[in-house]
Amino acid sequence: MKNKKGLIIAICAVIAACAVLAVVYQLAGPKVQSGTKAYTLEVVDDKENVKTYTGKTDAEFLSELMDELTRQGEFTYAGTQGPYGLYIEGVNGLIADYDADGAYWSIYVNGEYGMYGADIQPVTDGDSFALKYEGSNGN
Amino acid sequence: METKGPSKERKAVRDIALMGAMLALLFAGKRALDMLPNVELVTLFFMLFARHFGKKTYPVCLGFTALEALLFGLQVWVVMYLYMWPLLVTLVLILNRKEIPLWGYSILSALFGLFFGAFCAIPYLFIGGFSMALAWWISGIPYDLVHCVANLVIALVLFPPLDKALFRIRETLELG
């Protein structure tokens, strides 16, 4: 009986800790903006060729915008869901193989190196995104 | 002079085999649930191994990290694994000294999942400073919540029977 009571108290403490972290996420986490937003998305490949997509979207997150562009047939990407979000492996058919040569795809948001993965990066009105192929030689 | 029990060499061979078996179980457990992000058996296995085989689990932490790095390449999470799993083993060894009920390990497992992201943010302090580490941790909180609930449920259901089974195996094979 005492054992069960202890377990219940401990589970309540875990739930309380979860609630605190959920509040922290609500207050300080990525902010989502609903409605139609203007965006620019640049894809910079391994030869520094730039392909630019502009338009308006209702997407709340960058990955949703990428899915939208994929459906329009102008853009493709490949990625895997990791423990902390979507990891972009390839864009427009160009795969970055980190294991082979240290190459990867990075996300820039309004000129700054992105803090979040594509599936938690919010889209806000006027945002300018860039997906850049980062090679081991700095390209 | 004859001594009772297995010789030093036999013990060493047995320990190596034991560590190999632990590593194989961890690796298989990790692969089995790979399709479910943040739902994993590795925390459960490390806790059980640390509880029954003590400090012998530390080299297994290194072996597991090396095996994962070999498979997926050297990335930031390799650095995280290098301290996260030994940290879990250390926490279990501390709990082992106290007589706590088995569900205590389930609570540890839940809290380990909940704060996994916070501890994993440490390398980002050196990559992009405090603001990057904080942003990285906060953006991952939903994943940590899933990790916490999954760890709690898995440990509440599987820890007691597996603990019993390991106890029997340890007694029968005179391991530990």
Sheet architecture: strand order including A94-95: A77-82, A85-91, A94-95
Q: Pick the closest to residue B138 from A20, A131, A80 (CA basis).
A: A20
Note the pLDDT tens digit of each residue in A65-74.
999 999 998 8
**Which residues make Cβ contacts (< 8 Å) with residue A50, sequence separation at least 6?**
A42, A43, A44
Assign B4 to helix, strand or coil.
Answer: coil
In angstroms, rounded to a whole number, what is the distance separating the alpha carbons of residues B117 and B125? Answer: 13
Other beta carbons within 10 Å of A129: 21
Chain B contact for A24, CB < 8 A? yes
Note the pLDDT tens digit of each residue in A8-55.
999 999 999 999 999 999 999 888 777 899 999 999 999 999 999 999
The structure's pTM equals: 0.79
pLDDT higher than threshold 70 for residue A83: no
Q: Residue ranges of the domains in chain A?
A: 1-30, 37-134
Q: For chain A, how far is it from start to end, CA to CA, in angstroms?
A: 64
pLDDT, residue B3, reads 53
Closest residue of chain A to B124, computed from CA coordinates: A115
pLDDT higher than threshold 90 for residue B66: yes
Q: State the nearest Cα–Cα gap between B175 and chain A, in angstroms.
A: 30
pLDDT, residue A1, reads 60
Instruction: Annotate B119-174 with DSSP letters as a single string.
Output: HHTHHHHHHHHHHHHHHHHHHTHHHHHHHHHHHHHHHHHHHHHHHHHHHHHHHHHT
pLDDT, residue B176, reads 60
The CATH number assigned to the domain with range A37-134 reads 2.170.130.30
User: Is B138:A45 a contact under the CB 8 Å cutoff?
Assistant: no
Measured between beta carbons, which residues in chain B are less than 8 angstroms from residue A98? Answer: 73, 75
Assign A102 to helix, strand or coil.
Answer: coil
In angstroms, rounded to a whole number, what is the distance separating the alpha carbons of residues A16 and A8? Answer: 12
What distance lies between CA A72 and its chain's CA centroid? 20
Note the pLDDT tens digit of each residue in B153-173.
999 999 999 999 999 998 887
* Residue in the structure block whose two tokens are 């939208």: A68
Chain B contact for A104, CB < 8 A? no
The domain B8-173 is placed in CATH, from the list 1.10.1760, 1.10.287, 3.30.450, 3.30.70, at 1.10.1760
